[in-house]
Chain A
């Protein structure tokens, strides 16, 4: 299906750990250069899905094809050239500088790319993510927002055409959420990098031109364009609570979706 670089095809993906089914028969595809949002309740299998794709979780059945290559046949290094990962919790007290970390991210290309190429990839990643001035800082001294930008820069420097991010904005304040998503959009638009993002922020998906995949209990519940989330009952089903749409006075604006609360 997606034979070009940056496409991801998941078909019939299932995973059970210790007899408990975590993922069951999931199939969907991501076109090269697309942004895909994965939503769903806690425990729906979103993070596990990502771990299967990036090679952290193993023992799944079904197939995962990244840039036209069957993921199972790949060595860790070769997989790392195709797909990069920004985990939910970034590493805590690591005694390295941002620059050292970004240079390490070139690991999958060791022996293949020249030192000049490595340096260029790192510098470009720092420029695009606005982390150039952090390069001499220790990782342990970074704020949450700076750390998240560094993790994105690291994924970029890795040179993969697909980046998976697990809840990139969850621990950030509003200003840093906006900044982080701007960085994500820049990497996607300027480099054509395919982005797959786990999020609990449905409005983030609403405001973008991407695709949404909703999981529930390890199954694919629904997939479609973001505006499909506005269909009556859709979000209620995904999250198990009644949702409302709050429209702004400006008819061109996208409505805000939020759960109904007892008192607002």
Chain B
């Protein structure tokens, strides 16, 4: 198949996923349930206020995780770099949890304080990683990931302190949120991951040639005219902000940032201009599929989608680690 055909097929599948997902749930719906005069107002509400916003949020969140993974992989020149493996997601989760723990988690204050806390946490994690990888120029694949593991467990332990010392209700809220779940009521909540999606997609496309050149190493990038430090700073800031907003809303969902760009590369090649939209489509669709599974497999129980993603993502990660990436 030509590149054009492959990309077209991917987008067709992505569209099909988005269109079919809202019909699944505790109860399977058909268009006849919500169209026409006999539509049940209850089912109408479930469809438009719960299911459609949830699919939109999941899609945007998955796309953001995918794009951030793609950008981190280019900036660190490490095929395994990804927001959660680098500890950026848990940094954001810590920041958001701190905001919740300080009692800033509800109402209008919460909708501002939680993402802000998440951004501060994500920025802190990125700064630690950057300080670390700057000091050891030859930081290999493995060292970077191990640093990510260390940063993750640092923040996770702090989150656990919040959980342990908080009240029962708060602790349960924190626990289910850190497992990564997509719960929304209403269209407005469904659109919360849309601005970060616009930001990450715009930045990935705007800097697509820079990302390509950075893949060749700092020396090639600089001598071909890339303003390396400025580009890097902008991309890190944009990606941390986006991850933070998504984590604040959906929890630290792992592995999408690893899986989506890797599969997208096999479809669209390595050039970031074609890779970025394909990564977004794959990440979005993957999270929608997993979220649909999360709310149907054990219905009426609503499993946190992070559990399903981790269950599927961990073997994929191992496969990448042990040679699967040399295609």
B215 on interface, CB distance cutoff 8 Å: yes
Within the complex, the shortest CB–CB distance from A121 to chain B, in Å, comes to 13
A149 on interface, CB distance cutoff 8 Å: no
**Contact for A56 among B215, B219, B225, CB less than 8 A:** B219
Residue contact B265 to A158, C-beta cutoff 8 Å: no
Chain A residues in 8 Å Cβ range of B209: 104, 107, 110
Residue contact A101 to B226, C-beta cutoff 8 Å: no
Residue contact B227 to A91, C-beta cutoff 8 Å: no
Q: Please judge, given known A-B contacts A76-B226, A81-B225, A104-B209, whether A87 and B220 are in contact too, CB under 8 Å.
A: yes
- Docked Cα-Cα span, A91 to B214, in Å, equals 11
A77-93 toward B: CB 8 Å interface, digit per residue (1/0)? 11111011101000100
A102-145 at interface with B (beta carbon < 8 Å): 104-105, 107-108, 110
B223 on interface, CB distance cutoff 8 Å: yes
**Contact for A91 among B210, B217, B222, B265, CB less than 8 A:** B217
The chain A residue sitting closest to B212, CB to CB, is A104
The chain B residue sitting closest to A95, CB to CB, is B270
Chain A residues in 8 Å Cβ range of B224: 80, 104-105, 107-108, 158
Within the complex, the shortest CB–CB distance from B135 to chain A, in Å, comes to 13
A261 on interface, CB distance cutoff 8 Å: no
B228 on interface, CB distance cutoff 8 Å: yes
Residue contact A77 to B215, C-beta cutoff 8 Å: no
B164 on interface, CB distance cutoff 8 Å: no
Residue contact B218 to A94, C-beta cutoff 8 Å: no
A-B contact count (CB 8 A): 62
Q: Please judge, given known A-B contacts A76-B228, A96-B270, A96-B271, whether A55 and B213 are in contact too, CB under 8 Å.
A: no
Residue contact B216 to A85, C-beta cutoff 8 Å: no
Within the complex, the shortest CB–CB distance from A123 to chain B, in Å, comes to 19
- Docked Cα-Cα span, A83 to B213, in Å, equals 17
- Docked Cα-Cα span, A93 to B209, in Å, equals 18
Residue contact A85 to B270, C-beta cutoff 8 Å: no
Chain A residues in 8 Å Cβ range of B212: 96, 100, 104
- Docked Cα-Cα span, A89 to B220, in Å, equals 11
B179-236 at interface with A (beta carbon < 8 Å): 209-210, 212-213, 215-220, 222-228
Chain B residues in 8 Å Cβ range of A206: none
The chain A residue sitting closest to B229, CB to CB, is A76
Within the complex, the shortest CB–CB distance from A142 to chain B, in Å, comes to 14
- Docked Cα-Cα span, A91 to B270, in Å, equals 15
- Docked Cα-Cα span, A94 to B216, in Å, equals 7
Chain A residues in 8 Å Cβ range of B210: 107
B220-266 at interface with A (beta carbon < 8 Å): 220, 222-228, 265
A54 on interface, CB distance cutoff 8 Å: yes
Within the complex, the shortest CB–CB distance from A242 to chain B, in Å, comes to 36
Residue contact A107 to B213, C-beta cutoff 8 Å: yes
Residue contact A85 to B219, C-beta cutoff 8 Å: yes
- Docked Cα-Cα span, A78 to B269, in Å, equals 30
A164-179 at interface with B (beta carbon < 8 Å): none
- Docked Cα-Cα span, A55 to B209, in Å, equals 19
Q: Which 3 pairs between the two chains have the least Cβ-Cβ distance?
A: A80-B225, A108-B225, A77-B225
29 sample A-B contacts, Cβ–Cβ < 8 Å, listed by A number: A51-B219, A54-B223, A55-B223, A56-B218, A56-B219, A56-B222, A76-B225, A76-B226, A77-B227, A80-B223, A81-B225, A83-B223, A85-B219, A87-B219, A91-B216, A91-B217, A91-B220, A95-B215, A95-B270, A96-B212, A96-B270, A101-B216, A104-B209, A105-B224, A107-B209, A107-B210, A107-B224, A107-B225, A107-B226
